[in-house]
Amino acid sequence: MPVPESISDIPFNANPQKSRKGLDRVWHAAGYSIAGLRAGWQETAFRQEALASLVLIPVAFWLARSWVEAALLAGSVLIVMIVELLNTGIETAIDRIGPEWHDLSKRAKDMGSAAVLLSLVLSGSIWFAAIFQRFVA
């Protein structure tokens, strides 16, 4: 295959995965998602959050006074896991570029970490409000 001279020389549909349609696309996408969860499981933080979710999500349905509140509590736990996976993806992509230190690599990793922190603060705030409402108010 000849090397393209510019990005505009690369066909838009160069990825053979883009030609998949219907259930074939869904089947392959599900496989990639499972592979992503397996890769995430290799990370200590994701494992801790996943194991915590096994406890917190059932507790959310016990603690909540409505389905909306239960969805907010359980959803906040899932948001933390989602952001952790995205952060791990950022870190993995940066690490693939090379092991040398670079300011932009550090910034990208720091921002991913900050996103995880903010998701934890959001989740903690939602849980605090629900616990306060249930036991104090």
* 84 has catalytic annotation: yes
Phi-psi category of residue 93: left, alpha or beta, with phi > 0 → left and psi -120 to 50 → alpha: alpha
Q: Is the pLDDT of residue 85 over 70?
A: yes
Q: Of the listed 5, 43, 84, 91, which one is catalytic?
A: 84
pTM, whole model, 2 decimals?
0.84
Angle at 126 between CA 122 and CA 128, to 5 degrees: 115
Confidence of residue 3 (pLDDT cuts 50, 70, 90): low
Of 68, 70, 85, residue with least CA distance to 119: 85
pLDDT, tens digit (0-9, with 9 covering 90-100), for 26-37: 999 999 999 999
- Structural domains of the chain ordered from first start: 44-135 (1.10.287.3610)
Of 114, 53, 101, residue with least CA distance to 79: 53
Q: Are 94 and 54 in contact (CB under 8 A)?
A: no
Confidence of residue 12 (pLDDT cuts 50, 70, 90): low
Question: What does the block give as tokens for 104?
Answer: 């932009």
